[in-house]
Chains A and B, each alone.
Chain A
């Protein structure tokens, strides 16, 4: 129900477990990470399809690829940098280059591991994963989309990286089929377009409400598939509103904002402002909410950045 607060990891684990009932090819790898990834029920119901390997992410990615060559659908979920940055070459070669049907899921993504420091935050995963040809990148925006994205990714034949957060997130949407590669207009507007992904979309929608109070009509596009990006939707919005603001819990360089910029780079009179984290290691620690505020990725911060952008790009 809209507004309900749901643990994204539990929603993810539940969705995989439900899918596993109908599809015996689905197997799960754990790097001492399964229970924290919402797989308690999976372990209980499908112990023969659950492989606890301990903390060895490089090995697991290779093993998952090997299993996929024989028709299995391995799902490997752990803290986001440990399934992306840590085993990067294995993801690139064993899953990407070998075109294997492996599903990598980075949890506690973005800055949701706010006080654990840079090692545990994942603000480069979009950039890393998008450079692997054929890698689909998903960042569902609410619990309903997590459920749909899990089903879609398990039905899709090919490599997928999905990122989910850690703290509870509100239900924003009614249930609908998740289509890989499609974004959607969540709120109409004609002065500029805010494009966001993952849990940032909640803040983007709230920011649009704040802006509306000041009679600024911002369109909001939710982009739960980061790659391949919905080019048509982006270009249409760019043509109609001219100004685009992207929002993501990621470096402002190299992620969604960069991809949006690439898509509109040949369009005249289109300007893009990329909101995210600065490209540096000096990421401040603190509570998740405080970090969002500090980096101006909460609703108030986004609204302020939008107003500044409107002012400077006028």
Chain B
């Protein structure tokens, strides 16, 4: 269980990771910032609080696996991997450039810490299910975590994997559905309403929980409780805000993919710098 200081430290990490995302957006001039910012708190909590992961040994057999089914949110993944030390932060400055190892959708062959080549939606849950199936039963059993978008859930392959994960009793598999409620064309509930998402997963045999996915304390508390139930895969429906942390972009569909305006980008960086400063002080006070 995390104390206040640890929570404050994780919030600081999340802010630093958001700053890393902006660094990539500045380099490339654009990026899928909306989903990256909505999911980044959970991804930060996973890497800095929960997962058995070692940036110096990214292929360790017993490592926990994280893969981003919603591959377009990869700025969040790159930001967290960089902050964790999987690669030098100067790599972030190559985003959008010729030959960069951090393309708009992740490539496991190019970057340490990336477990799957996602981006085509509806693939991640199947791959994660296979990874969880392959885990040893006793010693060396690892956990598999994946983040899907809410907009990708209509892909039928998700539900194929959902059925299989339940049949095989994969309690080492957790999916976080980043339920920010917006996709390119508008509200997810208007485009293809799958609500109640949690009841659908429950009906497939999953154990489910709904949380505020941008509240670090809640996220960490949830991670402490995994698996939600022995013998069942877990689905955490993360209620999040698209572009969370981008004061002018929150909950706006235009920020699903952002062709960055430099003035706004500068503003976002200033605001994050202030937030980072405040969080640093908070962490120091709690020392």
Interface of A with B (CB < 8 Å)? 51, 53-54, 56, 58-72, 74, 89-90, 93-94, 97-99
With contact pairs A51-B168, A98-B108 given, residues A62 and B131 touching in the complex (Cβ less than 8 Å): no
Q: B83-91, B122-130, B204-212, B262-270: which lies at the A interface?
A: B122-130
Complex partner residue of A62 from B108, B134, B157, B163, CB under 8 angstroms: B157
Shortest CB distance A170–B (Å): 38
Smallest Cβ-Cβ distance to A63: which chain B residue: B130
Q: How far is it, in angstroms, between the C-alpha of A237 and the C-alpha of B197 when the chains are bound?
A: 61
Q: Is there an interface contact between A93 and B120, defined as CB atoms closer than 8 Å?
A: yes
Smallest Cβ-Cβ distance to A96: which chain B residue: B117
Q: Which residue, A53, A67, A70, A99, has most C-beta atoms of chain B within 10 A?
A: A70
Shortest CB distance B233–A (Å): 13
Smallest Cβ-Cβ distance to B125: which chain A residue: A62
Q: How far is it, in angstroms, between the C-alpha of A62 and the C-alpha of B120 when the chains are bound?
A: 12
With contact pairs A58-B126, A58-B156 given, residues A98 and B133 touching in the complex (Cβ less than 8 Å): no
Q: Mark B152-193, 1 if CB is under 8 A from A, else 0.
A: 000011001101100110000000000000000000000000
Which residues of chain A have C-beta atoms less than 8 A from B130's C-beta?
A: 62-69, 74
Shortest CB distance A25–B (Å): 10
Q: How far is it, in angstroms, between the C-alpha of A150 and the C-alpha of B132 when the chains are bound?
A: 27
Q: Which residue, B116, B120, B126, has most C-beta atoms of chain A within 10 A?
A: B126
With contact pairs A90-B157, A93-B117, A94-B123 given, residues A59 and B164 touching in the complex (Cβ less than 8 Å): yes
Shortest CB distance A178–B (Å): 28
With contact pairs A54-B163, A98-B116 given, residues A62 and B133 touching in the complex (Cβ less than 8 Å): no
Shortest CB distance B63–A (Å): 10
Q: Is there an interface contact between A62 and B126, defined as CB atoms closer than 8 Å?
A: yes
The prevalent SS among residues of B at the interface is helix
With contact pairs A62-B130, A62-B161, A66-B130 given, residues A98 and B156 touching in the complex (Cβ less than 8 Å): no
Which residues of chain B have C-beta atoms less than 8 A from A71's C-beta?
A: 61, 134
23 CB contacts below 8 A, A to B, read A51-B164, A51-B168, A54-B163, A59-B157, A62-B125, A63-B126, A65-B127, A65-B130, A66-B130, A67-B130, A67-B131, A68-B130, A69-B65, A69-B115, A69-B131, A70-B131, A71-B61, A89-B120, A90-B157, A94-B126, A94-B127, A97-B107, A98-B116
Complex partner residue of A98 from B65, B117, B125, B160, CB under 8 angstroms: B117
Q: Which residue, A62, A72, A74, has most C-beta atoms of chain B within 10 A?
A: A62
Shortest CB distance A141–B (Å): 32
B106-148 interface (Cβ within 8 A of A)? 107-109, 115-117, 119-120, 123, 125-135
Which residues of chain A have C-beta atoms less than 8 A from B161's C-beta?
A: 59, 62-63
- 11 new A-B contacts, CB < 8 A, other than A61-B126, A62-B127, A66-B129, are A51-B164, A54-B163, A56-B157, A59-B129, A59-B161, A62-B129, A67-B134, A74-B130, A94-B127, A97-B117, A98-B108
Q: Mark B55-68, 1 if CB is under 8 A from A, else 0.
A: 00000010001000
Smallest Cβ-Cβ distance to A93: which chain B residue: B120
B208-225 interface (Cβ within 8 A of A)? none
Q: Is there an interface contact between A90 and B164, defined as CB atoms closer than 8 Å?
A: no
Q: Is there an interface contact between A51 and B127, defined as CB atoms closer than 8 Å?
A: no
Top-6 shortest CB links A-B: A66-B130, A62-B126, A59-B160, A63-B130, A70-B134, A56-B160
With contact pairs A93-B117, A98-B108, A98-B116 given, residues A67 and B160 touching in the complex (Cβ less than 8 Å): no
Q: Is there an interface contact between A70 and B135, defined as CB atoms closer than 8 Å?
A: yes
Q: Is there an interface contact between A56 and B163, defined as CB atoms closer than 8 Å?
A: yes
Complex partner residue of B123 from A70, A90, A99, CB under 8 angstroms: A90
Which residues of chain B have C-beta atoms less than 8 A from A68's C-beta?
A: 130
Which residues of chain A have C-beta atoms less than 8 A from B109's C-beta?
A: 99
Shortest CB distance A133–B (Å): 12
Smallest Cβ-Cβ distance to A97: which chain B residue: B117
Smallest Cβ-Cβ distance to A31: which chain B residue: B160
Smallest Cβ-Cβ distance to A55: which chain B residue: B160
Q: How far is it, in angstroms, between the C-alpha of A208 and the C-alpha of B157 when the chains are bound?
A: 47
